[in-house]
Amino acid sequence: MASRFYVTTPIYYINDVPHLGTAYTTIAADVLCRYHRVRGHESRMLTGTDEHGLKIQRAAEARGMAPGVHADEIAAAFRATWPKLGCAPDDFIRTSEPRHKKAVQELWRRIQARGDIYLGHYEGLYCVGCEAYYTEKDLKQPGNVCPLHHRPAESVKEESYFFRLSKYGDALLDYYRRNPTFVQPASRLNEVTSFVREGLQDLSVSRTTFQWGIPVPGDPKHVMYVWFDALANYLTALQEPEDNTRFWPADVHLVGKDILRFHAVYWPAFLLSAGYGEAELPRQVFAHGFLTYSGQKMSKTLRNTISPVEVAEALSEAAAAALPGGAGAAAGAPPVGVDVVRYCLMRAISFGQDGDFSIQDLLARYGSELGNALGNLLNRVLPFADEVPEKGELGPLEEELLAAQRQASAAAATAFDAHQPTRALDAIWTVIAAANLYVDKAAPWVAKKTDPRRLGTIVATLIEQLGAISVMISPVMPEVASRMRDQLGLSPLAPEPGNDQWPVLPAARAPGEKLRKGAPIFPRLEKEKEAELLARFAPPPADAEATKAAPEAKAAPEANGGAGAAAQPARQGKSPVPFDDFARLDLRIGVVTSAERVKKKDRLLDLRVDTGDGAPRRIISGIAASYAPEELVGKRVIVLCNLPPRDFGKGLVSEGMLLTADVEGRVRTITVEDAAPGTPVL
Ligand code: MSP
C-alpha cells in the first residue's frame, strides 16, 4: 500500500488579496506535495480561506458590503490564483461552508463534553490584526501597541467561553519531548517550549460583541473565536464532501513564523482535549521565514504592487520575445515564467529563514542557474542526435557522473523529506553542474570527429541524465520538466500511488527512441526587456511602515560593532557593502555533530553540522591544520548557509562555510556559548 502524505497551508484571511507572501507558503506546499506524488505516495494538499472574525467583518463594512458577499469575492480570487502559480491543491476549504461549520460545532461539543469549555468573563487586550489576545508585556509600551500591526490593541470586556488550555501544558511538553521534530526549524521549538513552560492561561474561545462567526452550539449569542474555528479546517476538510480522514494526521502544517504558536500550542491542545491521542496529532508544524521584497518589508502597499502572477506573466512574455523569430515563435511553447518564480522563491530563500525576493535576483538566477546551467545542458546535447544513440562501454567519466547523480538524488530526497526544498534544489544543481562538467571533459564534439561509438555513449549518457534531472526538478518546476521531457522524447510524468519514480540512477533509454528538439526553454533575455522588468516591478519608495520595520529586524550588526553607516570607512580597505547585501547572508549557529579527516587532502576536514534544518549539513572545511577532528565535535560554530554548494571533487560537496578568524597564523572557528542549532546570526 502506498504511504500517504498530507500537507496544509494556513487558510488565508480575506481582508487581503493573494500576494507574494501567501503565494510563498502555497507554492512550498505544492512543491512538497508534488515531490511525494512522484515518490508514489498518496498525497493531498489543502489550502483555503479564513473568513470569520472581527477583522473580516470590519473589512467588509469598510467596503460597504455584507461579510458573506465580500467573502465570496475574495475567496474566489484566492481559488483562482493558485492554478496560475502552478499550484494544484486537492481541496480548497472556506470556513463559511456548511461542511466546516457543522464539523467545528461537533469539535466544540466534544471538547465541552470533556469538561474543557466553561463560561466566564474575559477582560483584556485584543489585536484585531492578529486576532489574538495579548497581555501588556506582549505589546509595545506606552500605548499597548501591537508589534506586528503598529496599532494599539483594543480593550475587550465581555462574557466569554474559555478553553482549559492550562490543563494541557504538561501533555504538550511531553509531546514536544517525544517528537523533537514536531516544530521545525529546530530553533523555533525552543520558542514554543519556553512559551508553554512559562505557564499557559485558559483561552477565551468565544465573542459576543459581533456576529460574523460560527455560533456556539446551544448559546448562539456567542460566536466562536476565529482561531478555534480556523485551526479546525485541517481536519474538517477531510470529512466532507467525501471521507478523506485516512490522511489524518497531517504530515506537515506549513505556516509563517507569525502564527506558529497557534499551530504548535493551541491546535494540539484542542485535539488532545477532543480525545485525539498523541499518534493522531499533526506530525510537524514547519514555520518558514518572512519575505522581504527588494529588501523592503512587505507592507500593504508593496504587497498590492508586486503580484507574483504578474511577475510570472511578464517574465514569460520577455522569454517569448527572446526566442528566435520573436514572440510568435513561442506560440507552441508553454510559458515558463511561473516555474521561474517558483524556483526563485524556493531557491533564493532558505526555507525556514527570512529572505529577500527581488527581480534582480530572479533575473540573475534565470540567466545563470536556469539558462546557463540547466537550459544550456539540454542545448549542448540535443544538437548531436535525433534519436537516442546506442550506448557503448562506460568509462571513468560516466562512472563519476553516475556517482554524482546517486549522491544528488539521495541528498535531494533527504532534503525534500525534511521539508527543505532549498537544500533539495542545491543538491539537484550539483548534478547539473556535474553533467556540464562531464560535457566539458567528455568533449562530444571531438568524439563526433574521431569515435562515433564514443559519441553515442556520451550523448545517451546525457539524455538519460537529463531525464533523471527532469524528474527531480518536477516538484518545483513542473512545466519546465514537461518541456524537457518532451524534447527528450519522454512522456509527461504521470505520478501514481505505489509507483516511486524518483531516480536513484537515471532510467535507461532504448536506442532509437526519437528526440524532439524544441525552442530553448530559458532563452537569453534582451537587455531592454530586462530593464523593462526591473522598472516595472521596482519597489515603491519605502513607506513609513517599512522604514519603521527595518531597524527592528536589522539593528544587530551595528550593535556588533559593524561598519554601520555606509559613510564610515570600512576596515582593511574593503569597500562598504549595502546593508541589504549583508542581510542576504544566511548566517546561523551550527553544532558540529561529526568530523573526520579527508583522505589524501591534508587541509580538509569533512564535517556534519546541525544548522537546524532537520538533517545535518555537510561542510568541507580547510581547517585540518588547526584542529583535530575530535576537538570540533560539539562546538557551536557560525555557519554561512547560503553559499552555492562547492565541489571539492570525489563527491565532496560542501554545503556551507564555517566562519573563522586567523589568530596569529592559526585558524580559529568563531564559536558561541549557547544557542540552538539554526539560531539566526544577525
Ligand atoms: N488566517 C490566518 C491563518 C489561519 S490557519 C488556521 C492567517 N492568515 S494570513 O492571511 O494572515 O496569512 C498568514 C500567512 O501568510 C503567514 O503565516 C504566511 O504563511 C503567509 N505570509 C504572509 N506574509 C508573508 C511574508 N511577507 N512572507 C512569507 N509569508 C507570509 O494568519
pLDDT, one tens digit per residue, over 459-485 is: 999 999 999 999 999 999 999 999 999
DSSP lists the bridge partners of residue 499 as: 496
DSSP lists the bridge partners of residue 161 as: 119
User: pLDDT tens across 368-381, in order?
Assistant: 999 999 999 999 99
C-alpha cell at 662: 586567523
Q: What is the mean pLDDT of the chain?
A: 90
pLDDT of 41 over the 60 cut: yes
Long-range contacts of 553-558 (CB under 8 A, 24+ apart): 553/297, 553/354, 553/682, 554/579, 554/583, 554/682, 556/682, 557/582, 557/682
Rounded to whole angstroms, the Cα distance separating 7 from 36 reads: 10
Contact assessment for residue 652 and residue 606, using Cβ atoms and an 8 Å cutoff = yes
**304 C-alpha vs ligand 1 centroid, how far in Å?**
15
Task: Phi first, then psi: give them for residue 91, nearest 5 degrees.
Answer: -150, 155
Q: In ligand 1, which atom is closest to the CA atom of 10?
A: 5
**286 C-alpha vs ligand 1 centroid, how far in Å?**
13
Q: What is the dihedral of CA 349, 354, 357, 358, to 10 degrees?
A: -120
Residue 60's pLDDT band, with cuts at 50, 70 and 90, is very high
pLDDT given for residue 555 in this prediction: 25
Q: In ligand 1, which atom is closest to the CA atom of 298?
A: 26
Rounded to whole angstroms, the Cα distance separating 291 from 355 reads: 5
pLDDT given for residue 1 in this prediction: 54
Task: Phi first, then psi: give them for residue 606, nearest 5 degrees.
Answer: -105, 110
pLDDT given for residue 568 in this prediction: 29
Q: Measuring from atom 13 of ligand 1, which residue has the nearest CA?
A: 12
Q: Any alpha helices (H) in 504-660, and if so which ranges?
A: 527-536, 544-554, 556-559, 579-583, 629-632
Rounded to whole angstroms, the Cα distance separating 282 from 249 reads: 5
Rounded to whole angstroms, the Cα distance separating 198 from 190 reads: 12
pLDDT given for residue 544 in this prediction: 43
Q: Measuring from atom 8 of ligand 1, which residue has the nearest CA?
A: 12
Q: Measuring from atom 23 of ligand 1, which residue has the nearest CA?
A: 21
Beta strand extents in 551-600 (DSSP E only): 587-598
pLDDT given for residue 575 in this prediction: 62
- Decide the pairing of beta strands 219-224 and 117-127: unpaired
Any residues with CB less than 8 A from the CB of 620 and at least 6 apart, and which? 598, 604, 605, 606, 607, 646, 648, 652, 653, 654
Q: Measuring from atom 25 of ligand 1, which residue has the nearest CA?
A: 21
Q: In ligand 1, which atom is closest to the CA atom of 303?
A: 26
pLDDT of 241 over the 70 cut: yes
pLDDT given for residue 599 in this prediction: 87
**97 C-alpha vs ligand 1 centroid, how far in Å?**
21
pLDDT given for residue 176 in this prediction: 98
Rounded to whole angstroms, the Cα distance separating 96 from 50 reads: 8
pLDDT given for residue 584 in this prediction: 77
Residue 297's pLDDT band, with cuts at 50, 70 and 90, is confident
**10 C-alpha vs ligand 1 centroid, how far in Å?**
6
pLDDT given for residue 566 in this prediction: 28
Q: Measuring from atom 6 of ligand 1, which residue has the nearest CA?
A: 231
pLDDT of 651 over the 90 cut: no
**259 C-alpha vs ligand 1 centroid, how far in Å?**
7
CA atoms within 13 A on the CB side of 198: 8
Question: 124-133, 307-316, 339-348, 460-469: which range is least confident on average?
Answer: 124-133
| Rounded average pLDDT over 306-325 | 92
Task: Phi first, then psi: give them for residue 287, nearest 5 degrees.
Answer: -100, 110
**17 C-alpha vs ligand 1 centroid, how far in Å?**
12
**23 C-alpha vs ligand 1 centroid, how far in Å?**
9
User: pLDDT tens across 74-84, in order?
Assistant: 999 999 999 99
How far is the CA of 402 from the CAs of 384, 391, 471, 510, in angstroms? 21, 15, 16, 18
pLDDT given for residue 586 in this prediction: 87
Q: Which of 20, 30, 47, 50 to mutate to test the pocket of ligand 1 (most atoms within 8 A of CB)?
A: 50
pLDDT given for residue 330 in this prediction: 47
Plot region of 55 (φ>0 → left; ψ -120 to 50 → alpha; else → beta): alpha
Q: Measuring from atom 21 of ligand 1, which residue has the nearest CA?
A: 21
pLDDT given for residue 331 in this prediction: 57
| Rounded average pLDDT over 612-619 | 86
Q: In ligand 1, which atom is closest to the CA atom of 267?
A: 6
**24 C-alpha vs ligand 1 centroid, how far in Å?**
9
In SS3 terms, 229-277 reads as HHHCHHHHCCCCCCCCHHHCCCCEEEEEHHHHHHHHHHHHHHHHHCCCC
Q: Measuring from atom 24 of ligand 1, which residue has the nearest CA?
A: 21
Pocket of ligand 1 (CB under 6 A): 10-13, 21-22, 24-25, 50, 230-231, 233, 255-256, 258-259, 290-291, 298
3-state secondary structure of 563: coil
pLDDT of 96 over the 50 cut: yes
pLDDT given for residue 665 in this prediction: 65
pLDDT of 569 over the 70 cut: no
| Rounded average pLDDT over 161-169 | 98
- How many other CB atoms are there within 10 angstroms of residue 410's CB atom? 13
Residue 559's pLDDT band, with cuts at 50, 70 and 90, is very low
Any idea what the Cα angle at residue 387 is, between residues 386 and 391, rounded to 5°? 130
Q: In ligand 1, which atom is closest to the CA atom of 292?
A: 26
Short-list 149, 11, 38, CA closest to 416: 38
Residue 616's pLDDT band, with cuts at 50, 70 and 90, is confident
Contact assessment for residue 162 and residue 204, using Cβ atoms and an 8 Å cutoff = yes
Judge if the upstream peptide bond of residue 142 is cis by omega within 30 degrees of 0: yes
Question: 549-558, 631-640, 668-677: which range is least confident on average?
Answer: 549-558
Contact assessment for residue 254 and residue 29, using Cβ atoms and an 8 Å cutoff = yes
pLDDT given for residue 601 in this prediction: 84
Question: 164-173, 268-277, 392-401, 645-654: which range is least confident on average?
Answer: 645-654
Residue 567's pLDDT band, with cuts at 50, 70 and 90, is very low
**22 C-alpha vs ligand 1 centroid, how far in Å?**
6
pLDDT of 367 over the 60 cut: yes
3-state secondary structure of 540: coil
Short-list 301, 305, 210, 380, CA closest to 538: 305
Which residue has cell 524534447? 487
Contact assessment for residue 267 and residue 255, using Cβ atoms and an 8 Å cutoff = no
Q: In ligand 1, which atom is closest to the CA atom of 12?
A: 10
Rounded to whole angstroms, the Cα distance separating 211 from 473 reads: 47
C-alpha cell at 595: 568530523
Buried b (16+ CB within 10 A) or exposed e, 264-274: bbbbbbbbbbb
Rounded to whole angstroms, the Cα distance separating 412 from 425 reads: 7
Q: Which of 7, 8, 11, 12 to mutate to test the pocket of ligand 1 (most atoms within 8 A of CB)?
A: 12
Contact assessment for residue 213 and residue 105, using Cβ atoms and an 8 Å cutoff = no
pTM, 2 dp: 0.81
**395 C-alpha vs ligand 1 centroid, how far in Å?**
52
pLDDT of 207 over the 70 cut: yes
Q: Which of 25, 130, 307 to mutate to test the pocket of ligand 1 (most atoms within 8 A of CB)?
A: 25
Q: In ligand 1, which atom is closest to the CA atom of 50?
A: 1
pLDDT of 493 over the 90 cut: yes
Contact assessment for residue 373 and residue 512, using Cβ atoms and an 8 Å cutoff = no
pLDDT given for residue 149 in this prediction: 85
Any residues with CB less than 8 A from the CB of 461 and at least 6 apart, and which? 391, 394, 398, 401, 438, 442
Q: What is the DSSP string of 481-534?
A: HHHHHHHTT-PPP--BTTB----SSPPP--TTPBP---S-SSPPPPHHHHHHHH
Q: In ligand 1, which atom is closest to the CA atom of 263?
A: 6
Q: Which of 16, 24, 188 to mutate to test the pocket of ligand 1 (most atoms within 8 A of CB)?
A: 24
Residue 144's pLDDT band, with cuts at 50, 70 and 90, is very high
Q: In ligand 1, which atom is closest to the CA atom of 15?
A: 10
pLDDT given for residue 570 in this prediction: 33
Contact assessment for residue 95 and residue 48, using Cβ atoms and an 8 Å cutoff = yes
